[in-house]
Structure 1
Amino acid sequence: MKKRTLILGMVAMVLLLGGPTVVHADGVVIVEPPPGVPMRDAPNLVIRYHRVEVEITDQVATTRVDQVFLNDTRYDLEGIYVFPLPEEAAISEFAMYVDGQRWEGEILPRDEARRIYEDIVRRRMDPALLEYVGRDTFKASIFPIEPGDERKVELAYSQILATDGGLIKYVYPLDTERFSARPLEEVVVSVRVESAHPIRGIYSPSHDVAIDRVDEHTVKVSFEASDVLPDRDFELYYSVTDDEFGLNLLSYRESGEDGFFLLLVAPKVEVDETEVVAKDVILVLDTSGSMEGEKIEQAKEALEFVLEHLNSEDRFNIVAFSTGIRVYERTLQSAADADEARRFIDDLRAVGGTNIDLALAEALAMADGERPQIIIFLTDGLPTEGVTDADRIIANLERQVSENVRIFTFGVGDDVNTFLLDSLAQDNRGASSYVRPHQSIEEEVSGFYATISTPLLADIELDFGDLRVEDTYPYPLPDLFAGTQLVVTGRYREGGRTDVVLRGEINGEEQEFVYENLSFSDRGGEEFIPRLWATRKIGYLLNEIRLHGEGRELIDEIVDLSVRYGIMTPYTSFLVEEEQDIFTPQGREEAAQEMWMQATAVPAPVDGAAAVQDAQNREGLRSAEKAQDSTEQVKYARDKVFVLREGVWTDTTYDSSVETVKVGFGSEDYFALIAAQPEWGYYFSVGQEVPGTRGRF
């Protein structure tokens, strides 16, 4: 028997007039059109700003919302305010204030709320609100707002946060893209977390947040943006434990398929000096003529910052290079002598060529095999003296480097060999960074060093026991430093429970930490993980192609991952090209062939602004900590990805060859399906025409 699919919205519908319009911030303002104004001309309120303050104390979260609506029309406007409550949240003490006065409202159970949403969808012919089917909802009337007036709305509610696998999750409904007529002038989310037990991991899969670890028991998290249309809820996870290293697991698996997991490893914030891994820091600075002026002065300040922040048991040395080299001392020096190196730094002058090979050889000759060796390599140019071929420089380094060496490279400006710098870093468990024109060298280097100044666990390995785990990223695993955390993504075969063992080295001694009975989901889980894993894998594959040569099988894999998980990159534009067929094996084969021809036709540049931007793009994918945001042509709805093709939002797993059943948008059958499968509301909210496989979408 042929499979049958469900296509929504293929039956023509008559546009209804007189329905409400919607403005959405954290809640939805449903504005009734003024008398005589048809729905298509009904005005919207303008959202001036949207500010959220959250205080979480021992899993009790209090959320306070402050937003201002502006009526910039010539009509008196009124309507109702609807706030979809976070799913599975235990809400208490919900209060609403309008212009400082307490406003009466009611919390509607999900069935009653669903009827309100369905009524709005019927009248507006817009399925966007179906995303909230299945949630309880707060509802309140909004009195008329006169032309030119503002209405300040404040909300406050408390909830008890649940714990899953040792992780505590907070969610705030911030999805506004499909409802706000204009971008919001300002969006601010501030979260303060306090706990009686030490806080270890803290992670947002939804937004790029700033994290301030005040102490072991207090963390501040913030997100700020302006002129934006937020398109996803704000999500935050954190863990509390007395363990020296916190390790927590999130996972997701569809029935019959391999699963995906995210492992969050975080050390304690406050460490005793005896727990810090003693390290050697070798600073390698380009002093060629092109560094003259502001660049050399900023670089000197960066070196001084590093010396000022050495730990008491650290050692250091400085290698300055141009046509030749200058070394501060013949051997590594104690951190106690760092002040004496200032005169050496002050006397450095920018003159001569760029002998990268000689500088690296000198730095490696100093390296001691007994402790972690961190080489910070800073250059603003291409190799012009001595060995100038990048492949030979890399080969020379490979013959000399030991396993305990970590190389961190900084390319200053755009005239640098990105292939060389990225290879040096990634082949030696470090990282490459680029200081673009008009950026501060001192700020970039000092900010980086602050994150790696205190090593706690080196040469990390993870053991998952009998559970089959593969395709983990980042690869290889980096060292752990105080104040940082490690986010690992990967795949697993079968769900179940297993012990996870974290191994590493502390001051030359092997250490082992066991985390018992962690549960890998057999079905369901956190739906963002597959897209985050796919983003990292695409970044890894793109880097492999750039650094180690093209491989057609790698390009085929990139195409398949990009289509399945909707990962947009500068290299996968076929995803949004209307003429490109991505829903059939033949279409994906053509996309891969085109990408292969582009990759092999002309060698990619290794220097210049385009090369630096390319290196940063690939690294951004490889080290991503959140999945991508929706765009005008690609939308994410829970575990599904939809691509816009000829006005139809199509699931990327949809098979266009199967027989279809047509259900009219807004029909009784349409809403009966939503009542029977409330989770499908997320998929239906994408658009009026949404093809998906019957019974499983």
Structure 2
Amino acid sequence: MGSSIRSLIGALLLALAGAGAACADGFIIPEPLPGVPRPPNLTVKYHHVDVEVRNGVATTHVDQVFLNEFHRDLEGTYLFPLPGDAAVSDFTLWVDGKPLTGRVLAKEEARRLYESYLRRKVDPALLEYVDRDLFRARVFPIPAKGERRIALQYSQVVPFDAGVYAYRYPLDTERFSARPLQEVAVRVRLDSPKPLKAIYSPSHEIDVQRQGEQRATVSYEQKQVRPDKDFQLYFTVSEADFGLNLLTHVPPAMEKGGRPDKDGFFLLLLAPKTGLAESRRLPKDITFVFDTSGSMSGPKIEQAKKALNFALDNLNPGDRFALLTFSGDVERFRPEMVPATPEAVAAARKFVEERQARGGTNINDALLEGLKLQRPRPGIPAMLVFLTDGLPTVGITEVKQILANVVKARVGETRLFVFGVGDDVHTHLLDRVSGDYGGTSEYVRPDEDLEVKVSSFYTKIATPVLANLELDFGGADAYDVYPKRLPDLFAGSQLLVLGRYRHRGRFTVTLRGAVGGDTRRFTYPADFAGEDSGTTFVPRLWATRKVGFLLDELRLHGENKELVDEITRLGMEYGIVTPYTSSLVEEETRPGAREAVQDLAAALPQGGSFGGHGGAAPAASGPAAVSAARQVRAAKEAARADGGYQSVRHVEGKTFRLSDGVWTDTAYRPEMPRRAVSFASDDYFALLAKEPKLARYFALGERVIVVWQGEALVVAP
């Protein structure tokens, strides 16, 4: 499970630092051999996890295969640090199908075992587990060039608070493996007596398949990977039509010289009832505006036709639609919006199939004609879906004038959703058109399938259930809330809202929204609580969204020193890599990492810390501009706070960057008092015994600088 015990645990500590508080997956530490004091670590071939959560109790079954690539048989100690936030029972372990005898060590005994490994110069990541009980078992023999399959099962009560369940499974120790795992798969089956609402992972991109209101299957799968963080899953339950729940976090008091910040952070989860009655679902008015200019010829026009036909076939009863295509001129399917009857849909499909790609790109007239077709109905969401693959070349081509014309032509609360196809699109124009009017921009790169992108998007917006959303946080005094403008809520979707709050306590959160022609009001008791070590990801997720919003302001509206200063501060404090904090990735080796930052820099005024553009204006079109637009949107809508950079770690409210082999706290300043601490020395362990919270930071490696209680602790061998 790694190339050496040092790399085994060194890799683990990187993952743990990014994941915050964690329990650990099982791993094997090879015992010394005569003449071989440090045998090579084992490789993990695969890691499968099946979880069943029923009535708040999770039964977790783990299946791993370990490979000994050494030329001699090995004996190993299998360690499984038990979850620290839940009671564990019925712990069972099998090796190659046979039950294995082991025992559970209490925290103090486990601490002594970890310390003995560290004194043998095993890497410090084991410090991550010093506050947990430990299951230990002897595994022998592990045959040379052979395998051992280990399976285990345990049950635990899933932590539950205020309607939110929080399940965590540790994947991060698999970074101990010398080679990437062939496959990692996690499947969680949820079975709840109450209706499930939001299902959310802050750590991994998950697939959620719902089976009615009370059951769902959550899955994550990846191949050829070294997992670097725990798998976290939150799910909420509620009988209400719209479930609303909060996760909160208040940072601990900061040390001297730090930036005092007593205000809290919150993540609000909002999701509609899965089986919301048809009578509560809203019809919609939707206009499709599709580019048929000459540059759309070939596969693009065929994919666009298939995507448009998919949308037409999936219109709901009660919907109205309009359809127009454009090149140099604009052509309407019908003079006005029409009900989505089978006959109208069939005629629209015929209209679509007859379109051919030819001519220039008259974006101005296409947008204005599409907006003219909107005839708002009270309480009914109105949308315009606009697709183009080019820059404006016919008619009015000045971006400022097009935007001004859209302002005048827009009717009511029409949302504009935009698809930019390829790299030759004006990202500033498309993002302003969508962002200013409650929609989003989606960019389809040349190597991506347009039909899949558009069809997936339409599925998400097909059935609105609550429009014109507003939130009131009562006495919590919320501020810096993102997104700034709340989108409509659709069947099968969920909304994540991040923000800050000044006052702690129990307050009432009020949700308002339009259902049909009526404005409805929903109230929810909410606990804006204090510090919670299980939600340390919330501040960084909030900061990621805010940075995304600020970068978008710079990209679309020009240089602003105050915004740059705030981006820089947030980036350094929370470990968010931007062109203004590029020093965070000086030692980054992940492929494409620096290139992504450079693309974003090319789209910003002055290029951030990468310098200017040689006198040229920031990129608004081309590959770098499209890459930048996608990065900014990803930040603005971030559901996970992991930036994916190997040289930046966020641990328990602190950010560390790797520089010259040292993990350095970004709060460190050279003029601070310093205290040298020799790694794995008596002083080192005495300090950890006195200040247990330091273990999270020391787990980063043998060379660490951390600011603690007004001084810099400098750990080195």
Q: Same fold (TM over 0.5)?
A: yes
CA distance in 2, matches of 1:98, 1:619: 47
Amino acid at match of 1:354: T
- Structure 1 residue runs of 5 or longer lacking an equivalent are 1-17, 580-591
Name 2:651's counterpart in structure 1.
637
CA distance in 2, matches of 1:531, 1:517: 22
Check if 1:182 corresponds to 2:179: yes
Residue 145 of structure 2 aligns to a residue whose secondary structure is coil
Structure 2 counterpart of 1:344, from 313, 331, 351: 351
Structure 1 counterpart of 2:385, from 366, 370, 376: 376
Check if 1:359 corresponds to 2:356: no
Residue 172 of structure 2 aligns to a residue whose secondary structure is coil
Question: Map of 1:113-262 to 2, 5 A cutoff?
Answer: 113-176=110-173, 179-254=176-251, 255=253, 257-262=262-267
Matched-pair contact (CA < 8 Å) for 1:283–1:375: yes
Q: Per-residue CA shift, 1:317-339, capped at 9, x if unaligned? A: 10111111110111111011322
Amino acid at match of 2:546: K
Per the TM alignment, residue 629 of structure 1 is displaced from its structure 2 partner at its CA by: 4.9
Amino acid at match of 2:555: R
Name 1:605's counterpart in structure 2.
619
Matched-pair contact (CA < 8 Å) for 2:568–2:580: no
Bigger CA drift: 194-203 or 659-668?
A: 659-668
Residue 193 of structure 2 aligns to a residue whose secondary structure is coil
Per the TM alignment, residue 690 of structure 1 is displaced from its structure 2 partner at its CA by: 2.4
Bigger CA drift: 267-276 or 647-656?
A: 647-656
Check if 1:331 corresponds to 2:336: yes
Distance 1:82 1:125, change over 3 A: closer
Q: Per-residue CA shift, 1:33-84, capped at 9, x if unaligned? A: 3210133xx2121111111111111211011111101111111111110011
CA distance in 2, matches of 1:406, 1:367: 11
Name 1:588's counterpart in structure 2.
none
Matched-pair contact (CA < 8 Å) for 1:21–1:43: no
Bigger CA drift: 390-399 or 683-692?
A: 683-692
Matched-pair contact (CA < 8 Å) for 1:253–1:525: no
Name 1:5's counterpart in structure 2.
none
Structure 2 counterpart of 1:467, from 447, 472, 476: 476
CA distance in 1, matches of 2:622, 2:607: 27
Matched-pair contact (CA < 8 Å) for 1:259–1:493: yes
Distance 1:386 1:594, change over 3 A: closer
Matched-pair contact (CA < 8 Å) for 1:85–1:173: no
Amino acid at match of 1:37: V
Name 1:682's counterpart in structure 2.
696
Name 2:17's counterpart in structure 1.
none
Per the TM alignment, residue 594 of structure 1 is displaced from its structure 2 partner at its CA by: 5.7
Q: Per-residue CA shift, 1:519-545, capped at 9, x if unaligned? A: 332676611011111111111111111
Per the TM alignment, residue 165 of structure 1 is displaced from its structure 2 partner at its CA by: 2.3
Name 1:526's counterpart in structure 2.
535
Amino acid at match of 1:677: E
Name 2:20's counterpart in structure 1.
none
Name 2:257's counterpart in structure 1.
none
Residue 598 of structure 1 aligns to a residue whose secondary structure is coil
Per the TM alignment, residue 654 of structure 1 is displaced from its structure 2 partner at its CA by: 2.7
Per the TM alignment, residue 288 of structure 1 is displaced from its structure 2 partner at its CA by: 0.8
Check if 1:265 corresponds to 2:262: no
Per the TM alignment, residue 680 of structure 1 is displaced from its structure 2 partner at its CA by: 2.1
Distance 1:95 1:495, change over 3 A: same
CA distance in 1, matches of 2:398, 2:51: 55
Distance 1:201 1:600, change over 3 A: farther
CA distance in 1, matches of 2:691, 2:507: 33
Per the TM alignment, residue 236 of structure 1 is displaced from its structure 2 partner at its CA by: 0.4
Per the TM alignment, residue 655 of structure 1 is displaced from its structure 2 partner at its CA by: 3.6
CA distance in 2, matches of 1:309, 1:630: 37
Question: Map of 1:29-48 to 2, 5 A cutoff?
Answer: 29-39=28-38, 42-48=39-45
Amino acid at match of 2:355: L
Per the TM alignment, residue 658 of structure 1 is displaced from its structure 2 partner at its CA by: 2.0
Per the TM alignment, residue 630 of structure 1 is displaced from its structure 2 partner at its CA by: 5.7
Structure 1 counterpart of 2:87, from 83, 86, 90: 90
CA distance in 2, matches of 1:112, 1:640: 29
Structure 1 counterpart of 2:677, from 654, 663, 685: 663
CA distance in 2, matches of 1:409, 1:265: 25
CA distance in 1, matches of 2:207, 2:5: 41
Q: Per-residue CA shift, 1:526-569, capped at 9, x if unaligned? A: 11011111111111111111111111111111111110000124
Matched-pair contact (CA < 8 Å) for 1:34–1:75: no
Distance 1:208 1:599, change over 3 A: farther
CA distance in 2, matches of 1:22, 1:448: 42
Residue 377 of structure 1 aligns to a residue whose secondary structure is strand
Name 1:481's counterpart in structure 2.
490
Name 1:393's counterpart in structure 2.
402
Distance 1:177 1:554, change over 3 A: farther
Structure 1 counterpart of 2:72, from 63, 70, 75: 75
Name 1:412's counterpart in structure 2.
421
Question: Map of 1:471-550 to 2, 5 A cutoff?
Answer: 471-521=480-530, 526-550=535-559
Amino acid at match of 2:346: D
CA distance in 1, matches of 2:166, 2:194: 16
Matched-pair contact (CA < 8 Å) for 1:134–1:679: no
Matched-pair contact (CA < 8 Å) for 1:251–1:525: no
Matched-pair contact (CA < 8 Å) for 1:200–1:240: yes
Distance 1:691 1:596, change over 3 A: closer
Distance 1:660 1:633, change over 3 A: same
Matched-pair contact (CA < 8 Å) for 2:170–2:229: yes
Q: Per-residue CA shift, 1:156-177, capped at 9, x if unaligned? A: 1111112122110001111126
Q: Per-residue CA shift, 1:258-281, capped at 9, x if unaligned? A: 211100111111222211111111
Matched-pair contact (CA < 8 Å) for 1:459–1:478: yes
Distance 1:21 1:363, change over 3 A: closer
Q: Per-residue CA shift, 1:327-368, capped at 9, x if unaligned? A: 011111101132221111111111111111111111111112
Residue 497 of structure 1 aligns to a residue whose secondary structure is strand
Q: Per-residue CA shift, 1:609-639, capped at 9, x if unaligned? A: 2211111111111111001156432122232
Residue 303 of structure 2 aligns to a residue whose secondary structure is helix
Distance 1:98 1:284, change over 3 A: same
Q: Aligned residues, how many?
A: 667
Matched-pair contact (CA < 8 Å) for 2:564–2:580: no
Amino acid at match of 1:226: K
CA distance in 2, matches of 1:599, 1:469: 39
Moved over 6 A (4+): 18-21
Q: Per-residue CA shift, 1:235-277, capped at 9, x if unaligned? A: 1000111011111101111245221110011111122221111
Structure 2 counterpart of 1:274, from 276, 279, 285: 279
- Structure 2 residue runs of 5 or longer lacking an equivalent are 13-23, 254-260, 589-605, 712-717
Q: Per-residue CA shift, 1:462-519, capped at 9, x if unaligned? A: 1011222111111211111010100011111232221100111111210111002433
Residue 419 of structure 2 aligns to a residue whose secondary structure is strand
Structure 2 counterpart of 1:451, from 460, 485, 498: 460
Q: What TM-score does the superposition give when structure 2 sets the normalisation length?
A: 0.89
Bigger CA drift: 515-524 or 139-148?
A: 515-524
Residue 382 of structure 1 aligns to a residue whose secondary structure is coil
Residue 124 of structure 1 aligns to a residue whose secondary structure is coil
Amino acid at match of 1:657: E
CA RMSD of aligned residues (A): 2.2
Name 1:7's counterpart in structure 2.
none
Q: What TM-score does the superposition give when structure 1 sets the normalisation length?
A: 0.92
